[in-house]
Amino acid sequence: MKPTDVTITVLHNIFLTRDERYKLAEGGDVEVVGVSVPVWFRKGKTTEPASEVFCKYRIGNAPVSTPLTTYEEGYVVNLPQEGEVAVAIKATGEEIPSAAPHPKMLKDIKDGGCAHMQFKQYTKVRKGRNIFNLLHFVEIKEMETLLDTLAYG
C-alpha cells in the first residue's frame, strides 16, 4: 500500500424533529434523510463547487471505535457517548483531553441540551493499493433551522 496526498472531506447536514432528537438523547435509533457534501483535495486542487448528495442516515448510540460507516443507501452514524474523551488539538499541535459531544446535547435548552451537536471523524481508507485521508464533519441540528431557511412561492 502506498500513501497518497488525496484527502476526502464529507460534510453531513442532518436535521431532526424534536421527537427524533429526544429519541437519540434517550438512547434510541432513528433513520432520516440528510445531505452529504463530499469534496476531494489533491495538491491544492479541489472538486469544489461540491454537489449535495441526499442520502439516508441510520443514527444510533452504539459505542464503537468508528462512529461513521457507509452502507448502500447512505451512512450509519453512531453518536459519541457521554463520558467519552475527545482530543482537542491546539494550534501548536499539542493534544489536550476535551469533553466529547454526546446525545443528550440534542435535547432542548430548557431540558439541559442545546438542540444540536457536531463532531468530526478522521480516518484513513484503502482503495486498491492507495490510502486516502478521510475526514467527516457531522452536524445535527433542529428541523426548524432548516425550515426557517426555505423560501416558498
Q: Tens digit of pLDDT for each residue in 84-99?
A: 666 666 667 676 666 6
Domain boundaries, the chain: 2-147
Asked if residues 4 and 126 have their Cβ atoms less than 8 Å apart, the reply is no
* pTM for the predicted model, two decimal places: 0.84
Label the pairing between strands 45-46 and 30-42: antiparallel
Residue where the block lists cell 412561492 = 153
Q: Is residue 1 over pLDDT 60?
A: no
